[in-house]
Amino acid sequence: MNLLVNLAGLLIAAFVVWWFWLWKPRQALVSAGRPIDILVDDGIYEPAYIETPKGQPLTLRFLRKDASPCAEQVIFHGLDISETLPIGKPKEIRFTPKQAGTFRFTCQMQMYQGQLKVTD
Ligand SMILES: [Cu+2]
């Protein structure tokens, strides 16, 4: 019995490690001048990995379904953008990335995680 409990604990720990540190989204959604819809629900942004060329105006349309305060804000680290997301109503965030690089976007507690890759 004890062994089983320990095993379960180990599995949970492994899952947490994978979820927070190892998991890397593989499929990038490439913006081609069109707005990108991002669903905010169940602790994840969908899609969570977005690619866009430098110097091209970008529109991200966040639709927040998660009513928990955790999902309330989206912060683009290194881009000086932070917005409050209403529940059940799309929120458009428009900007033109001026430098190439990979920028994280997260909720204020950094539970929700996403990446914006700006290509040269
Ligand atoms: Cu959060």
Cα-to-centroid distance, 70 and ligand 1 (Å):
3
Residue 25, pLDDT > 60, answer no
| pLDDT confidence of residue 23 | 65
Q: Please, what's the largest Cα pairwise distance for the chain?
A: 59
Distance 47 CA to ligand 1 centre (A): 17
Q: What is the pLDDT of residue 24?
A: 62
How far is the centre of ligand 1, averaged over its atoms, from the C-alpha of 14 (Å)? 21
3-state secondary structure 68-110: CHHHCEEEECCCCEEEECCECCCEEEEECCCCCEEEEEECCCC
113 CA from centroid of ligand 1 (Å): 9
Q: What is the mean pLDDT of the chain?
A: 91
pTM above 0.75, yes or no: yes
19 versus 61: the higher-pLDDT residue is 61
Task: Please name each of the domains of the chain with its CATH number.
Answer: 26-119 (2.60.40.420)
